[in-house]
Every structure is written in C-alpha cells, then in structure tokens.
Amino acid sequence: MSIDEFFVKGLRDAERRIPFLRPIRPEEQQALLTVVCSSQIFRVIDRVVDRLTRACDTSVVLQGVRRMWSGTSPAQKRLIAGVALIVAATVHVTLVVWHETPPSWLWLVVPGFTVAIGLLFVIFSGAERRAHV
C-alpha cells in the first residue's frame, strides 16, 4: 500500500467516524499529502520501513522460521502463543517489582489479562475441532 492510499483511507475513515467534519476536497487532500511526503521524518521512516521489508523478504533465517511455523499444527501454535504470553507477563511483572513496586494494584490489570489469555491458549491447545456428524 502506498502512502497515498494509506493517507486517503485515513481521511475517509475520519470523515466516516466524525460526521460533523466537512469532507476534504481533492485539492486540499493533495496539498496535505504533499506536506506529509515532504517531511524529513516521513522520508526517514519510509526508508527504514523499505529496508526492513527488503531485509525480511530476503532473510534466510526468517524464511526458515516461516517454513517451520507454517508446518506447525494449530494446537502447537496455540500452545506456543500461550506460553509466550505467560512468560512475557511474568517477566514484565518481575522487572517492575524488581525496579520498584508500584503503590497500587492497577498496574497488574494488563499483565493479569495477558496471563489469562495465555492460559486460555494453553488450555485450548489440546482442543481440536471435530466435525459434527
């Protein structure tokens, strides 16, 4: 997707979500796009994304990982995802507590949800779909 398409879709989405906005005329849209594309920050981001995309497409290591992942069964994928979520939440909580314990319990909400979702993945990793007869 080009930046033009991305920008136009974003403008259309904003017009759809915020109905009281006046629709942007095509010449205004082109002027906004010109300003965005002329930005140095945009150029740097565009170059970085382009290089990363090319590097990922040609990486032998990533191609091997893709082949291995595509050959993995759905149950194993759920198990791996669940374990990864549980480990990530555990490491996050450990690092936060190690650095300094926050004064309230609210910081545990997101890691708690992450562990719960990870546990669901692990629990349902053994459940395979069965065709109803």
Contact call for residues 100 and 93 (beta carbons, < 8 A): no
pTM of the model: 0.56
Across 30-54, average pLDDT: 84
CA-closest candidate to residue 125, choices 71, 68, 83, 65: 83
Given a cut of 70, whether residue 121 has pLDDT beyond it is: yes
pLDDT tens column, 48-102: 888 988 888 888 998 888 889 898 888 999 999 999 999 999 999 999 999 887 8
pLDDT tens for 18-33 read 877 777 787 887 888 8
Residue 5 has pLDDT above 80, yes or no: no
| Residue 130: per-residue pLDDT | 57
Cα–Cα distance for residue pair 94/78, rounded to 1 Å: 24
